[in-house]
């Protein structure tokens, strides 16, 4: 028995299965390119489902992300989003959320203002586009509407009571209740398990039955994000009808349903879109040649060899495995791309963990030119057919800047544009 090698060809190989990687594949398909995408379980399952654009700049929470982007261009010209116009960023967002809608997950359209996204602990954060299942919660908060938030016995990391108490001053008409989820008595439950169960009509009806007696004039009902895994909008509509009140989801702590939902949506839809997706295989090696590259991957039973005309690297940072560090330095794990970094590890961090300026290490990453091509110290592209996008890029601190999805989507859009141009 020989270990087999399967060979495939593609115009663009996208490496990475986070938001940036999936967005890159979507944009590349929209530009008519053949796409193959590779990766492994990454940080996707840790998202709230909210798509941020730019929520914080100059240490202030921003209501107007577009004005904040204008300031960012002045203050941080090296930021990966600074080289992109507001129009192109808006087009990127629209392209991404429209594609999600086509795949069955409704998202709000890019607007002019940030939204105040609810968080599980009874706080709100600035975000830009939210799943349709979460929008009514934002409206309820804005209106101070009479709202009931429900949690479940055995569910960790989401407390309706804490949500109520923390919002009490801003939202006096908010109340909370705890239920035992149908069929999940006396056990620890994960949101994912509840969401799977709510895919069946029997559970939808049983839960509606439990919620109805609690309403007492309530206009909105908030649940942790559990409204099914793959048809949340339909399940929400069905449940709303069954309980007779507006229903919304609140993100939970990881591992949370909205991220798993996105990942499974891409995994389900990409083969239909014509993307050759291998969501469980990490690229082990890449050999570049003048007209492209050969990627080597190792499956459980056979190897995979990919002939690609161009490569887009979207492997993320430390958690996703795109970057690693040892005692002395930071490196890029797949291609050993140069990372411009301080001589000394002492300069990676500031003294205080919560220093509002953030830590220098978070802004280290892969240096790219205006076409999102990784560059050497002299500024020349490492390879004519290599592009990069997302959190692996240098000169951004997406966690503090509340710009994770914006960074991923906008740079994936721009990088695929450059890749398409290079491929003629």
Partner 1 sequence: MGAHSRGNTLDFLKVANDLLPDGASYDACVGCGICASGCPASGLFGMDPRRFINMAMLGMNEELSTTPWVWACTQCKRCAYLCPMGIDVSQLVGAARGAWATEDKPKGIVRSCAAQKLDESTSAMGLMSEDFVEIVEETLEELHENQPRFADLKVPIDKKGAKFVINQNSREPAVEPEEMAPLWKILDYVGADWTYSSKGWAAENFCMFTGDTEAWKDMVETRVDAMNALESEIWINTECGHSFFTIWQGIEKFGLTANFEAESLVTYYAQWIREGKLPVNSDWNKNNVKFTVQDPCQLVRKSIGDQAAEDLRFVVKTLVGEENFVDMQPCRSANYCCGGGGGFLQAGMASERRAYGKRKFDQVIATEADYVLTPCHNCHSQIEDVGDHFGGAYTVTHLWTLICLSLGILGPDERKYLGPDLADINLPEEE
Q: Provide the binding-site residues for partner 1, judged by CB under 8 A.
A: 1-4, 6, 40-43, 45-46, 183, 187-188, 190-193, 196-197, 199-200, 202-203, 229-230, 254-255, 260, 264, 267-268, 271, 277-281, 299-302, 319-321
- Torsion of the alpha carbons at 206, 208, 210 and 212, rounded to the nearest 10: -150
DSSP 151-182: EETTB-S--HHHHHHHHTTT-TTEEEEEEPPT
Minimal distance, residue 269 CB to partner 1, in Å: 11
Which residue lies nearer to partner 1 by CB, 211 or 275? 275
Beta partners for residue 124, in sequence order? 118
Contact assessment for residue 206 and residue 190, using Cβ atoms and an 8 Å cutoff: no
Chain centre to alpha carbon of residue 212: 34
* CB nearer to partner 1: pick between 241 and 302: 302
Q: Minimum CB separation from partner 1 for residue 298, in Å?
A: 10
| Minimal distance, residue 187 CB to partner 1, in Å | 5
Find the shortest distance in angstroms from Cβ 2 to partner 1.
7
399: nearest Cα among 354, 367, 340, 366: 354
Among residues 230 and 296, whose Cβ is nearest to partner 1? 230
- Picking from 256, 264, 306, the residue whose alpha carbon sits closest to that of residue 14 is 306
**Is 44 or 414 the residue whose CB approaches partner 1 more closely?**
44
- Angstrom distance (rounded) from CA 345 to CA 195: 44
The structure tokens 């794990």 sit at: 333
Question: Rounded to whole angstroms, how far apart are CA atoms 181 and 201?
Answer: 14
Q: Give the alpha-carbon dihedral of 105, 85, 115, 392, to 10 degrees.
A: 70
Report d(CA 95, CA 90) in Å as an integer: 8
Shortest separation between residue 185's beta carbon and partner 1, angstroms: 12
The nearer residue to partner 1, 40 or 345, going by C-beta atoms, is 40
- The minimum distance between CB 304 and partner 1, in angstroms, equals 9
**Taking a C-beta distance cutoff of 8 angstroms, is the pair 392, 316 a contact?**
yes
Q: Six-digit token pair at 33? A: 């390119």
Question: How near is the Cβ of 302 to partner 1 at its closest, in Å?
Answer: 8
Residue 209 CB, shortest distance to partner 1, in Å, is 18
Q: Which is nearer to partner 1, 315 or 373 (CB)?
A: 315
**Phi, psi dihedrals of residue 333, rounded to the nearest 5°:** -80, -30
Nearest CB to partner 1, comparing residues 76 and 278? 278
State the virtual CA torsion across 378, 381, 382, 384 in degrees, nearest 10: -160
Decide whether 6 or 289 has the Cβ nearer to partner 1: 6
Cα–Cα distance measured from residue 337 to residue 372, given in angstroms and rounded to the nearest whole number: 14
Distance of closest approach, residue 402 Cβ to partner 1, in angstroms: 21
Distance in Å, CB of 41 to partner 1, minimum: 5
Q: Report the alpha-carbon distance of residue 173 to residue 145 in Å, rounded.
A: 6
Q: What are the backbone angles phi and psi of residue 421, rounded to the nearest 5°? A: -65, -40
Considering the complex, state which of residue 192 and residue 397 has its C-beta at the smaller distance from partner 1: 192
**CB closer to partner 1, 164 vs 278:** 278
Distance, in Å, from the CA atom of 86 to the CA atom of 201, rounded to the nearest integer, reads 43
């Amino acid at each position: 028995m020989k270990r087999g090698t399967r060979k495939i060809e593609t115009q663009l190989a996208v490496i990475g299965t986070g938001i940036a990687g999936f967005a890159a594949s979507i944009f590349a398909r929209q530009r008519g390119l053949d796409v193959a995408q590779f990766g492994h379980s990454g940080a996707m399952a840790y998202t709230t489902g909210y798509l941020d654009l730019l929520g914080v700049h100059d240490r202030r929470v921003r209501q107007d992300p577009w004005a904040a982007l204008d300031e960012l261009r002045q203050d941080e010209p090296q930021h990966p989003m600074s080289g992109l116009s507001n129009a192109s960023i808006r087009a990127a967002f629209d392209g991404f959320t429209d594609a999600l809608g086509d795949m069955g997950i409704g998202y709000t359209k890019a607007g002019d203002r940030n939204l105040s996204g609810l968080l599980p602990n009874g706080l709100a954060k600035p975000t830009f586009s939210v799943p349709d299942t979460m929008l009514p919660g934002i409206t309820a908060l804005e209106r101070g509407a009479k709202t009931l938030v429900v949690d479940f016995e055995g569910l960790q990391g989401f407390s309706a009571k804490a949500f109520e108490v923390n919002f009490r001053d801003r939202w006096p008409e908010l109340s909370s209740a705890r239920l035992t989820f149908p069929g999940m008595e006396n056990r620890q439950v994960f949101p994912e398990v509840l969401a799977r169960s709510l895919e069946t009509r029997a559970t939808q009806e049983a839960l509606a039955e439990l919620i109805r007696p609690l309403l007492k004039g309530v206009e909105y009902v908030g649940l942790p994000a559990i409204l099914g895994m793959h048809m949340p909008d339909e399940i929400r509509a069905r449940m709303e009808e069954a309980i007779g009140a507006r229903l919304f989801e609140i993100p939970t702590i990881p591992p949370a349903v909205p991220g798993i939902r996105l990942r499974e949506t891409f995994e389900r839809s990409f083969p239909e879109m014509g993307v050759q997706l291998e969501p469980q295989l990490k690229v082990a090696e890449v050999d570049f040649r003048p007209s492209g590259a050969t990627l080597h991957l190792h499956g459980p039973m056979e190897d995979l060899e990919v002939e690609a005309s161009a490569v887009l690297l979207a492997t993320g940072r430390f958690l996703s495995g795109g970057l690693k560090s040892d005692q002395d330095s930071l490196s890029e794990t797949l291609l050993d791309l140069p990372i411009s970094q301080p001589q000394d590890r002492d300069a990676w961090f500031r003294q205080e963990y919560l220093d509002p300026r953030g830590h220098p290490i978070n802004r280290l990453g892969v240096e790219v030119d205006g076409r999102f091509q990784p560059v050497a110290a002299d500024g020349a592209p490492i390879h004519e057919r290599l592009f990069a996008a997302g959190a692996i890029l240098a000169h951004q601190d997406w966690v503090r800047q509340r710009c994770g999805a914006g960074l991923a989507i906008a740079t994936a859009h721009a990088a695929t544009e450059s890749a398409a141009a290079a491929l003629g």
